[in-house]
Chain A
Amino acid sequence: MQRSRLVFWIFCAPVLCWLFLLIVLPHLDLLRMSFRGENDYGDMVWTFRNYKTFFTEPIYWLTFVRTALYAVITTFITFLLAMPVSFYIAKLARARIQGALVILLLLPFWVSELVRIYGWMILLRESGVLNFFMLKLGIVDTPIEMLYNDATMIMGLVYTSMLFMVVPLVSVMESLDDSLIEAAHDLGAGQFTIWRTIILPHCKPGITSGSIVVFMLTLGNYLTPNLMGGKNSLWFTEQIYNQFIASFNWNQGSAFGFLLLLLSSFIIWLGLRLTRQKLDEVAS
């Protein structure tokens, strides 16, 4: 007993060191920094001003609202697309094809996000692959710019987050007893009723955990909005980057970082409350 506990701590030590030194400590420093600021004489003092700036300057909170809204939309579209895909993989596909399908889903994630985004840009740009074929086939006369707008950006975000929705959905759907669906069918329920009363309630934990992951990933994404989004697409993460890098205002940047953490946690809490769920149910 003693011995096994010692082994446990030895194996845990690297993880704990990692967590504490590389994640907890820097966050504490950021938290301290977010409450510091220059007063009118240029001295560093304790202040709430960095947090106040967020609420008093419309461009900051509006950017946050916009980012959060787009993240919710992205999550919802991802859910709509992932539902039939996971149902097919979990229930309809034959066992041998199942593995192949999951591999197909995983495949794009073997290259980095940056490469995937540049791939999309090559496809969609004005002198890109898609326009080339559309011109050749005579569908359009002049090339269309498909990049640099919000719709493309959301598509990119959905593409990036599909996997994180499909995997939890497949795993909950596998535990769904087929006979329930058959019984409902025999008793005369329609397609819609079966989805609404049997499949969706059963998948609820998977939907919630998938949604949380997708929402957080989208909200914290930096590359996709920056590269595929257009001239109006200021994302909140980019604003944090700008505070740190362009304005040299680390205090403001850390305040924004913590606000992002708090507000996104709040949105998830709200989502759980609205759907009457508890986080530990979802996690199990």
Chain B
Amino acid sequence: MKRIVVFALLAMFVLAGTARAETLKILTWKGYAPQKLIDAFEKETGIDVEVTFSNNEEMIAKLRATRGAGFDLAQPSQDRISSVQEKYNLYQPLDYSRIDSALFIPSMLEAVKKNTKVSGKSFAVPFCWGTSGLIVNSDKAPGADSFKALIDSKYKGRVSYRLKRPTLIAMGFALGYNPFDLYDDPKAYKAMLDKIADTLIEAKPIVKNYWANGDSLLESMRSEEVFVAMAWDAGGWKLHADNKAIDFKAPKEGALGWIDTFTIPSKAENVDAAYKWINFIMKPENAGYFSSQEKYATASKGALKYTDKEVAANFDRSFPQETIDNINWYPPVPANLERMEGMVLDKIKAAQ
């Protein structure tokens, strides 16, 4: 009896030992690690890649729960790094000498370095960027060109947005504030949030639902249940490929620009593999493949050459030069704003 137990335990240890080949654990957004690139990477380096899908908030929560362990590479947005780093120490400073900086668009690399600087050290390199704005079905809602369309009673029951912080920021711009200027003034920021809460509560009969899952939003736009939505540009372009009436539209307040990055969690086990992955995926041909698949532009220099023509056309159509100049880029979020915003979001959702 006892012998069997001991034997079983031994067998388990042996099996567990052999199963541990070298792996790279990536915590990222859906679509950021296409299977074809994973296969190529595994072939090139012999490192297995494990991918976990997440979003900004959950990434931070996951890493916070393990104090920065469990993953070798994470991809938060650049504005959500410095305050979290100061408070919870989730990431390790990047060794930029191990990253092939020739692969990056210099201005973006510099901007991300600057925005993720905490006590003299930087924590991230850029991967891809995009904007949040409107996805509009121009057959049904020809006039929608502002974030105000989301609270316009003309589109009653045909509007959808997330109940997350980007929506609050967008409403701030729609109401004539500049939320990013108020980041350092909690009192004024709170006043703005209260105003936004009132507006969104009043506009509740207009919104159909608060979407939580990108695919289901695209489905309700495709089936023409929703005419105007606040969402990411790539989603709009995906829909445009099927239905020419639907497209991404940068609102006149300016689309909200984000950059997603690579960071290495503080207790990463396989740091070498993480640097290898960064240098691998930023190669123009790989980054170009990612852009063709997911429609997001990357920070890789020369990737455009390897990107499908349609994707480049999306970009020309939605972003003429003055629209690009009008993009409001997220600056780093100071600590404690999230708490205020969380309260406001709960208040909006709970209101009848």
- A residues lining the B interface (CB < 8 Å): 7, 10, 59-60, 62-63, 125-127, 145, 147-148, 226-227, 230-232, 234, 238-239, 242-250
Does the CB pair B225–A246 fall under 8 Å? no
Q: Which of B157-200 contact A (CB under 8 A)?
A: 157, 164-165
Q: Are A63 and B350 in contact (CB under 8 A)?
A: yes
Stretch among B30-38, B206-214, B233-241, B248-256 lining the A interface: B206-214
The CA of A148 and the CA of B220, in the complex, are separated in Å by: 13
Binds A, one of B19-27, B267-275, B309-317, B339-347: B339-347
Q: A63-B350, A232-B352 are in contact. Are A243 and B342 (CB under 8 A)?
A: yes
Partner of A148, one of B60, B208, B343: B208
Query: When A and B form their complex, what is the total count of cross-chain residue pairs whose Cβ atoms lie within 8 Å?
Result: 70
- List 6 additional contacts besides A234-B350, A248-B339; criterion CB under 8 Å: A7-B1, A10-B5, A62-B350, A230-B209, A231-B349, A232-B351
Contact call B225/A232, Cβ cutoff below 8 A: no
Contact partner, A232, options B164, B204, B346, Cβ 8 Å: B204
By a CB distance below 8 angstroms, the chain B residues around A63 are 346, 350
A242 lies within 8 A of B345 (CB): yes
Q: Is the CB of A59 within 8 A of B350?
A: yes
**Size bin of chain B's contact surface:** 20 to 34
Inter-subunit contact B346/A59 (CB<8 Å): yes
B208 lies within 8 A of A246 (CB): no
Cβ–Cβ < 8 Å partners of A7 in chain B: 1
Q: How far is the CB of B334 from chain A (nearest CB, A)?
A: 12
Report the separation of the CA atoms of residues A21 and B64 in the bound assembly, to the nearest whole angstrom.
Answer: 19
Q: Judge if B223 is at the interface, Cβ distance under 8 Å.
A: yes
Does B61 interact with chain A (Cβ within 8 Å)?
Answer: yes
Q: Does B57 contact A (CB under 8 A)?
A: yes
Interface residues of B (CB under 8 A from A): 1, 5, 57-58, 60-61, 64, 84, 157, 164-165, 204, 207-210, 212, 220, 223-225, 338-339, 341-343, 345-347, 349-352
Chain A residues with Cβ below 8 Å from B223 are: 125-127
From known contacts A245-B61, A246-B338, A248-B60, infer whether A145 and B208 are also in contact, taking CB-CB under 8 Å.
yes
Tell me, rounded to whole Å, the shortest Cβ–Cβ distance linking A98 to chain B: 40
Q: Can you identify 16 A-B contacts, CB atoms within 8 angstroms?
A: A7-B1, A59-B347, A60-B346, A63-B346, A126-B223, A145-B225, A230-B209, A231-B209, A231-B349, A234-B349, A239-B346, A242-B342, A242-B345, A243-B342, A246-B342, A247-B341
The one of B1, B58, B346, B350 in contact with A245, judged by C-beta atoms closer than 8 angstroms, is B58
Are B209 and A248 touching (Cβ within 8 A)? Answer: no
Complex Cα gap A231–B345 (Å): 12
Q: Name the residue among A127, A244, A245 with the largest chain B CB count within 10 angstroms.
A: A245
Q: A242-B345, A245-B61, A246-B57 are in contact. Are A231 and B210 (CB under 8 A)?
A: yes
Q: How far is the CB of B190 from chain A (nearest CB, A)?
A: 14
Chain A residues with Cβ below 8 Å from B351 are 232
Chain A residues, Cβ within 8 Å of B58: 245
Is the CB–CB distance between B204 and A231 below 8 Å?
Answer: yes
Are A148 and B209 interface neighbours, CB within 8 A? yes
Residues of chain A within 8 A (CB-CB) of B84 are 248
